[in-house]
Structure 1
Amino acid sequence: MSFIFEALGVSLALLAGMLVLMEVGRRLGCARREAHPDARTQLGPVEGALFGLLGLVMALTFSGAATRYDARRMVIAQEANAIGTAYDRLDLLRPEEQPPLRDLCRRYLDARIAYYREAPDTPAHQAQARNVQQLLDRLWKETAAACDRDPRGQVSILVVPAVNELANIVTTRAMTSQLHPPGVIYAMLLVLASSGALVAGYASAEERNRSWLHHLGFALIFSVTVYVVIDLEHPRLGFIRLQASDRVLEDLRTRIQGPGQVTAP
């Protein structure tokens, strides 16, 4: 929940900051109008360029966040396919070699499910990561040993790559969870939003009556969009979650059966 409060705090701070800057801009515009009653702001081209750039950066940032969110969901499906393939390939080993490896594969899947249920960067999450790596190392060693003991050489050609793919997909999924836009993008959004609020407030001085609805609507829409972008970038911490996608792993655990239960989160 701390991440949710932090993200909401950032959005509310941005909302308040933009409202303050619009008020500052309006007062500057009103002061100029009083000093030069016949002058005009002439901010049309500036406003168009500024808000056009702000919209472009905001659209690219939102699109990137949505793309990375979809990529994280696809990697979950890839991992479920990789584990299911490795489990099925164990059928190629000799019958006496299969039971312990199947049990180890089920335990590995249970560990992966438990890993994703823990909040990132917590002690429990790190402990589950170590457990996952230990089970993966053991599964790899025992599978390789079973293939060495099998007189049929073609078995290792099919089984070993399938188990090796489990390690590859772990790395891929870890990398996708760490992909975020550089901090300079957020800084640029902050600068553009602040500049846009100031310019919008300055231009509103042309009207004698202040339109709080327009000011609040502009600031609110932008701050909510920024919050959604942050939430999309961290889909295991905020309101937007990947739990629905994780169910493919739980469905796989149900399919391969065996000892161990997968409880609902």
Structure 2
Amino acid sequence: MKHSFLFDLDASYIVVFLFFFMLIAIRIGYTIGFKKPKKDSDDFGILSSLLGLLALLLAFTFGMAGSRYENRRTNLINEANSIGTAILRSDVYPDSLKKVYKADFQTYLNARIDYFESNRDDDKINSSLKKSEEYSKKLWNRASFYAKNKDYFIQSNMMLPALNDMFDAASSTNTVYNSAVPESIVYLLLVFSIIISFYIGYSSGSKKVMDKYFIVGFCFLSCVVILVTLDLDRPRRGLIDLGNEISLLKELKSNF
């Protein structure tokens, strides 16, 4: 699992720190601007351009996080469907083989559920991946072995493609589940928010007027959008999760 200072730090802490840094930047900018002679010219156009640039950066980052969230959701649903199909294909085998298949499918399914519910515990994540890989090999080896037996030729022709789709779906899900917005973009968003705050304060200082409600509202709403963006980008924690999609995997337990 990915580890870094920014990624390991809770999103709520990030936005709380950002909120106060933005207020501090505004105060510093106001102090500097207040010391200069009052200008007759209006720099509203420049400030609007900077705010528009911040809005564009917020929208771009939010879009990246949202697309990754949707990819995780779609791939998890596809994996649940693939596992369900493979489990049903075991019914075409005789009872003796069907029981063995379903026992392995049950262990594999539990390992995949554990993977998604391991939060940020590296040991649990690695253990679940190892177990799912172990039982995926067992399932494939058994299916390929019986594919050489003419008595199970039809059953194997049904099972092998289903297993292949199941493994491909798991591989895709693992990849997109760990994907995240590049940290350089997140850092740029955070730093740019503070810089814009400084210019807002500087503009207010040069006019000798500070609208506290506007400033607090701007900082608060910007931090809320950033919080939601970070929450979307972190599937193993936060308020926005994939609980409904993971429940699809749990519902497959009814097949055993």
- For normalisation by structure 2, the TM-score amounts to 0.89
| Structure 1 residue aligned with 2:32 | 28
Q: Which amino acid aligns with 2:52?
A: G
1:219-238 alignment to 2 at 5 Å?
219-238=219-238
SS in 2 for 1:237: coil
Counterparts of 2:142 and 2:41, CA distance in 1: 76
Residues 140-171 of structure 1, C-alpha deviations (whole Å, 9 max, x = no match): 11121122224354443321111112211111
SS in 1 for 2:142: helix
1:130-209 alignment to 2 at 5 Å?
130-151=130-151, 153-209=153-209
Deviation of 1:121 (Å): 4.5
Deviation of 1:120 (Å): 3.2
Deviation of 1:206 (Å): 4.8
Cα 1:250–1:167 change in 2 (3 A) is same
> 1:83–1:166: 8 Å Cα contact kept in structure 2?
yes
* Percent identity over paired residues: 25
| Structure 2 residue aligned with 1:18 | 22
> 1:4–1:238: 8 Å Cα contact kept in structure 2?
no
| Structure 1 residue aligned with 2:50 | 50
Q: Which amino acid aligns with 1:32?
A: K
Residues 73-101 of structure 1, C-alpha deviations (whole Å, 9 max, x = no match): 12121111101111122233344432211
- For normalisation by structure 1, the TM-score amounts to 0.86
Q: How many residues align?
A: 250
Cα 1:120–1:164 change in 2 (3 A) is farther
Residues 228-250 of structure 1, C-alpha deviations (whole Å, 9 max, x = no match): 11111112212222122211111
Q: Which amino acid aligns with 2:25?
A: L
Q: Which moved more, 1:93-102 or 1:213-222?
A: 93-102
* Structure 1 residue runs without a partner (length 5+): 258-265
> 1:75–1:172: 8 Å Cα contact kept in structure 2?
yes
> 2:146–2:152: 8 Å Cα contact kept in structure 1?
no
Residues 162-187 of structure 1, C-alpha deviations (whole Å, 9 max, x = no match): 11122111110111112212122112
| Structure 1 residue aligned with 2:253 | 253
Q: Which amino acid aligns with 2:23?
A: L
SS in 2 for 1:32: coil
RMSD across aligned positions (CA): 2.0
* Structure 2 residue runs without a partner (length 5+): 1-6
| Structure 1 residue aligned with 2:12 | 8
Q: Which amino acid aligns with 1:23?
A: R
Q: Which amino acid aligns with 2:18?
A: L
Deviation of 1:19 (Å): 0.4
1:81-100 alignment to 2 at 5 Å?
81-100=81-100
Counterparts of 2:226 and 2:200, CA distance in 1: 19
